[in-house]
Amino acid sequence: MAIKIKGEMREAFGKNASRRLRQEGRVPANLYGADLKNVSLSLDKKDIFQILRSESGENTIFKVSYDSKTQDVMIKEVQLSPFSGELLHIDLILISMDKEIRVTVPFILTGEAVGVKAEGGFVDFVTREVELECLPKAIPEHIEVDISKLHLHQSVKLEDISLPEGAKWVSDPETVIAMIHAQAKEEVVAEEEEIEEEVISEGEEPEVIKKEKPEEKEEAKKEE
C-alpha cells in the first residue's frame, strides 16, 4: 500500500520561520521536478520518519498532497543537525512512474565464505551500495550477494551479480563488492598465543622445577 502524506504550502521563510515550524513538529521542504517550479512545503516530521524507517528508506516512492494536487515523489536529500541530529530540511523530487530514475541500493552479503570457514581468512566488504537505473516500480530494497563459494584472495564484482529485472548498472561493472583476505602473520601468531594461554588457564598450573644451587647441595650433605 502506497504511503500518502499531506503537505502544506509554506509562505514564511528564513531561519526564524523554519525554527517555528520545527517547534510545531513540522519540517520545511522543497519539491523539485523537471517541469515543475520549485514548491515550498512543510511536512509532518512523523510522516518523514515513517518513510525513512521503512525497508526501502530514502528510495520509498510515496504520494504527497498539497494545494489540491497529489504527486508521486521520493526523498532526494535529508538535512540533519550535526549536533543534535534534529531533522532540519527535506528535499523531494517529482517522480514519473513511466520514466527511469537513478537510485542507490545497498548490498547484503549472504552465506559463509569457504575462505573464512575453512581457510582462516576474513571478509572485506568493499562496496556496500551501488547506483543503478530502473523504473520507479522496479527499485529493489537491497541486492543480495552470495559469497559462500569464495576462497582466499577471491572476490565478487558487480559484473558477477545478476541485475534485478528491468534495471541496469550505472556503477563500473569492475567494482569489487567483497573480497576474502588472508590474516596477517602477526594476527595468526597472536591468536595461537591466546589459545595456548586459554588451555593453560583452563588446566592445572604447570609444575615449576627449581634447580638447587651448589651451596644448597653442600649444606644438605653437612646436615646428613
pLDDT for position 198: 61
pLDDT for position 34: 72
What's the whole-number mean pLDDT along residues 140-154?
A: 95
With a cut of 90, say whether residue 130 has pLDDT above it. yes
With a cut of 50, say whether residue 22 has pLDDT above it. yes
pLDDT for position 200: 56
> If pLDDT is split at 50, 70 and 90, which confidence band does 209 have?
very low
pLDDT for position 148: 96
With a cut of 60, say whether residue 155 has pLDDT above it. yes
pLDDT over 90 for what percent of the chain? Answer: 60
CB 200 within 8 A of CB 181: no
Whole-model pTM? Answer: 0.70
Which of 11-25, 126-140, 195-209 shows the lowest mean pLDDT across its residues? Answer: 195-209
Rounded Cα distance between 113 and 204, Å, is 37
With a cut of 80, say whether residue 224 has pLDDT above it. no
Tell me the domains of the chain and their CATH numbers.
3-95 (2.40.240.10), 102-185 (2.170.120.20)
pLDDT: is 110 or 83 the higher one? 110
What's the whole-number mean pLDDT along residues 81-90?
A: 89
With a cut of 90, say whether residue 215 has pLDDT above it. no
Residue-wise DSSP of 79-125:
EE-TTT--EEEEEEEE--TTS-EEEEEEEEEES--HHHHTT-EEEEE
> If pLDDT is split at 50, 70 and 90, which confidence band does 48 have?
very high
With a cut of 80, say whether residue 79 has pLDDT above it. yes
Q: What is the mean pLDDT of the chain?
A: 85
pLDDT for position 60: 93
pLDDT over 70 for what percent of the chain? Answer: 82
